[in-house]
Chains A and B, each alone.
Chain A
């Protein structure tokens, strides 16, 4: 509770005073109050004021609440706390401002109002009193300055954390505003800083902008060194011809950097400061002007940069155009397409559509897109690749005989006036002894009766001509005329082995053509070759088991050749060279010795049934036990059923072989 020095007022006095209060709030007129000079606290007792507010509403004019609201924005009692606008000066003497510059002294300025000629101390008196614990008397202004209408309080008369209340006495009449009281920290406004100057920090690379360091010194009146005042600065700058100032941050260092000023423009800079806790700024200093003129470098460096930039962008655009227009070619160069598996001269579309008739036609060389006469060159150095060579000499050969226009028929000609062996001999230019080309179709020229292509013909479906031809001719005459051992040499034969000597072992059911045997007399050697071939026609399926350290060479299962067994077991073996090697995939070893006994040949495609405990593979037996290519008997030819399969199954093969 505020201990108030006022005594309780009677309601009428209340209302009267309230009205006056409202009026004064609005018009800011000093009240003639004798009670003030008597020391009665003129301040309004707020509680009583509030309690009498309803009465005020009724008693006083209806503008009072409005005035009260207006008073929210305008507190004339704190004339020294808010900035005073002197233009709406009332007619009574009043104080315009009180300012302390260094928190040691302060000054107050008054306005005489309607009174003129207040030049002496007799006319006007400034009285103040300090609200201190010790009830001090009212004192007069220690120093008058009538010229400036200033009352100056020096250091002796200034106390910091004390409330001062000032009044004006003119002709013994007291004029006072409501509570012209203040404490020193409310009125501190430091002087502006001094020695404002600037230095150029740096220039931008383009030469159009620069940075500036502005520095100054604290106002000399502010005693910063002893710590009595701590000062903060605020810089403002603007272009000379603009009206808006740009504020910089408030900070306490006596220097500030301004970035990004333009060349050839003039800037104006000024600064002001405030005491740190109080946030009331003093006046601005005088402005300084900053201007930096451009140097000659601006002209040359900048266009060079521009030219460079444009040039590079132009080049980039051109490259983009090239890339976009030549996209396909570049893609071809950079990412060449993977060649699809393709036979030259044969459209892959045909294969996709399943048109095997045309395909066979083409394969056989008939039609437009026939196979090339020469074998592709890139297979020359791979002897194990078998292919059919139908070359130009064959074509020449073909001319000698009746030219049926197809290679197949040429190969198949049986009834020809020309002795076949001669024909064959001249035509088979690739069949040289010791030739490692491994041509399956290279048959012995000494056996003119061979017709290696009979079975192939039968295998190739959709060749009505040939079949017809075959059927016309019948197989019997062939059988009769060609007691041959070289049958079942197909266009496509599966290589099952490569002999160390260089020969090729075909899949079982066919006989091996040993190159060395070509030049010998074949009739007699045939069975021998048969045997040899038979001996060689076996293969071993080796499963490498890493756990097995010793190598077991399985040359023979102890099965007699030709014995019929439900299953054939192939025990596992390991390489003796590297016992700790990783598990290898199944591979085929060449037979160790040609003397190894024959065991039942395995079909081309065999299904692995299971792996038993000894890590041996149990294979499916072939559908029919195919007897080894008999050397004893001639290989009979059988008429084959018409079939349209693409590959030989064991059943079919059985048919063939029987």
Chain B
């Protein structure tokens, strides 16, 4: 566990550096407009990769100590607060949908998770879980990563046109159960929801990236 933590901390260092680099690159791009969208999307896809792997690790860590909860926490789509967001559900649809729609969907997803992540990180501090500090750290990293990805996508969408600017932020209802077990269950459920959504984000970004770099097979 400790090794995992340190490796993640190292990756966090890289990530923060990468994030800064990403931000500077994007700022430069915003000013100069020299960097092509393909590279920007590549960078964003890498970010979402890390986001997804982080969330997977997090759910696994939650599950290692309470395996019997796994069965009860496979989230039903109706129960995640982002389930009302309509989006492509299979490959055909994903490939047909326009880039702007995809981009606005991505941004909506990310924006919708900003507040819940903050709430979850606050509640993760007092978890009755043996690895609650590491979980708390990971949630913090998730927050930072999603924040940087959000900014990056904002800049990207600015270059894509007005249609990509449509963002719908879904409400998140903070239900604060009293007892700690319920808190734990709730957290696990929410993290599974987030994992699912991060998977969506990752897939869509990769589709976008491949689509934007037609001349560059290395992007696909």
A interface residue numbers (CB < 8 A to B): 1-3, 43-47, 50, 68, 71-72, 75, 77-78, 103-104, 131-133, 155, 158-163, 178-179, 181, 183, 185, 223-228, 230, 276-277
Contact = CB atoms under 8 A, between A and B. Distances in A.
Nearest to B78: A133
Nearest to B48: A277
Nearest to B89: A159
B24 interface: no
A277 B49 contact: yes
Interface string B85-122: 00001111011000000000000000000000000000
Contacts of A104: 90-91
A46 B206 CA distance: 37
Determine which residue in A44, A47, A277 has the highest number of CB atoms from chain B within 10 A of its CB, and name it: A277
A226 B214 CA distance: 10
Interface string B53-73: 100100000000001111111
A228 B200 contact: no
B156 to A, nearest CB: 16
Contact of B67 (A72, A132, A181): A72
Contact of B89 (A72, A162, A179, A276): A162
B209 A133 contact: no
A277 B52 contact: yes
Given A228-B91, A228-B203, A78 B196 contact: no
B79 interface: yes
Interface of B: 49, 52-53, 56, 67-79, 83-84, 89-92, 94-95, 175, 177, 181-182, 185-186, 189, 196, 199-200, 202-203, 206-211, 217, 219-220
Contact of A161 (B91, B182, B199): B199
Contact of B186 (A1, A43, A131): A1
Contact of B91 (A45, A72, A155): A155
Contacts of A225: 210, 217, 220
B189 A133 contact: no
A185 B209 CA distance: 20
Please indicate which of the listed interface residues A2, A133, A226 has the most CB atoms of chain B within 10 Å of its own CB: A2
Contact of B196 (A68, A161, A276): A161
Contacts of B217: 225
Contact of B56 (A71, A78, A224, A277): A277
A137 to B, nearest CB: 15
Contacts of A155: 90-92
A635 to B, nearest CB: 102
A159 B211 CA distance: 22
Contacts of A50: 181
Nearest to B213: A227
Contacts of A228: 91, 94-95, 203, 206-207
Contact of A46 (B94, B185, B209, B211): B185
A68 B71 CA distance: 14
A227 B214 CA distance: 11
B72 A2 contact: yes
A6 to B, nearest CB: 11
B185 A47 contact: yes
B177 A181 contact: no
B77 A44 contact: no
Contacts of B91: 103-104, 155, 160, 223, 226, 228
A160 B89 CA distance: 5
10 A-B pairs closest in CB distance: A227-B210, A159-B89, A46-B72, A133-B78, A227-B206, A131-B76, A227-B207, A77-B71, A179-B71, A1-B177
Contacts of A178: 71
A656 to B, nearest CB: 95
Contacts of A160: 89-91, 203
B73 A179 contact: no
A191 to B, nearest CB: 16
A162 B78 CA distance: 10
B185 A131 contact: no
B178 to A, nearest CB: 10
A400 B175 CA distance: 142
Given A161-B89, A161-B200, A225-B220, A133 B73 contact: no
A47 B78 contact: no
A282 B92 CA distance: 23
Contacts of A132: 77-78
B69 A46 contact: yes
B78 A131 contact: yes
A223 B207 CA distance: 11
Given A2-B79, A227-B211, A277 B90 contact: no
Contacts of B53: 277
A132 to B, nearest CB: 6
A163 B74 contact: yes
A30 to B, nearest CB: 15
A79 B154 CA distance: 41
B43 to A, nearest CB: 15
Contacts of B71: 43-44, 75, 77-78, 178-179
